[in-house]
Amino acid sequence: MKYICALLFLLAFVSCKNDKTEEEPANNTSVEKEVSAEQQTSLIYPEEKHFKSLRQVTFGGDNAEAYWSFDDKQIIFQSNNTQWGLECDQMFLMNADETFDSIRPPMISTGKGRTTCAYFLPGNKQFVYGSTHLGGDECPETPLRREGKYVWPIYESYDIFVADLQGNITGQLTTEPGYDAEATVSPKGDKIVFTSMRTGDLELWTMNIDGSDKRQITDELGYDGGAFFSPDGTKLIFRSSRPKTEEEIKEYKDLLAEGLVQPTNMELFICNADGSDLRQLTNLGNANWSPFFHPKGEKILFSSNFEAERGFPFNLYMIDLDGKNLERVTHGETFDAFPVFSNDGKKLIFSSNRNNGGTRDTNLFIAEWQD
């Protein structure tokens, strides 16, 4: 699921990029940087009271969809950094205390096709992720716009795979025709939620860790995706575009027939893990997406540009489960998104355009969180 100068940047993440440069160095070790307390706080804007410290993790390219291992010791993320010899998003592994600048971290996807949304499985020795590599070794084409509209590609070659931390694929969880991707794992370690086109629309489904017992969760017209479980595994939070008028419905169906969705108008929805008690959480307008539960399970952290007039900035916001007490968390002028709490609730990793020297680079940052 992934934006720059906010909207151009979105492209790089539900899919990816090119321009191969120098080869990977023989020694794939991280760059250990001594980061002073002053440097860590200098990345924090004055109004960002929830950040006790902030550390930049990557330095170049588009880096996002970073997820913690169950023990919080490692992180998997996707990147299309051309300095790492990439043409589109691939998956990388890092220790939670590492920083990567000129040296590439270990790549744990195949290096073929395009990948998205890698998530650790219980035990921290395997992960699930979406990949198009069975549809071809090359990166599938990324459409920039369709008739002047910003769109995301929904590649029918996406399937969900299991791999070990050396990048060896050990299983395939989906085999049905059409898009299957955006898989995330319950903190309880028993279920996976993902987005699928198997019924002809982009709906949420769940399955067991081994791919068995697939169950449809949503069934209303519109793109349902980017879902995450609550800390206790009983609820799901996700983004959705729900066309209502005849014109909106026609536009949605026409784009979907071409393998595209338009992500500029999305709201957050919440339901029980079995799909019951479905309700709309936000009604803010523009794009509200990349939601994640606060560790206490009583609030949702998400990214939105609802206060923007021209598509950006995107900032992080927090809201109660009843839709009340909306609070702005970040105060950037470009892009903050993909917030994910560590399992112990002490840290937050997210993607941001801050401190990128005026480039379009989107990097990973880890904050010490304080309520």
- Three-state SS for 124-160 is CCEEEEEECHHHCCCCCCCCCEECCEECEECCCCCEE
For residue 177, cis peptide bond before it (omega within 30 degrees of 0): no
**Cα 308 to Cα 286: distance, rounded to the nearest angstrom:** 8
Q: Which pLDDT score, from 0 to 100, does residue 310 have?
A: 78
- What was the pLDDT predicted at 132? 98
Question: What is the CB-side half-sphere exposure of residue 18 using CA atoms within 13 A?
Answer: 7
Q: Which residues are registered as beta bridge partners of 120? A: 127
Which of 370, 340, 337, 366 minimizes the C-alpha distance to 353? 337
Note the pTM of the prediction, 2 decimals.
0.90
Instruction: Give the list of residues 6+ apart from residue 283 with CB closer than 8 angstroms, or none.
Output: 267, 323
User: Where along the chain do its domains lie?
Assistant: 7-369
Rg (CA), the chain: 19
The type of residue at 83 is Q
Query: Which residues on adjacent β-strands are paired with residue 228?
Result: 237
Cβ contact 335:341 at 8 Å: no
Contact 7, 14 (CB under 8 A): no
- Residues in the chain predicted with pLDDT less than 50, given as ranges, are 1-34
Instruction: Determine the Cα–Cα distance for residues 57 and 293; give it in Å rounded to an integer.
Output: 22
- For residue 9, the model assigns a pLDDT of 40
- The DSSP letter of residue 84 is G
Structure tokens at 63: 């880096």
What CATH number does the domain located at 7-369 have?
2.120.10.30
- Looking at the chain, list the stretches that DSSP marks H as alpha helix, in order from N- to C-terminal side: 7-14, 37-42, 246-257
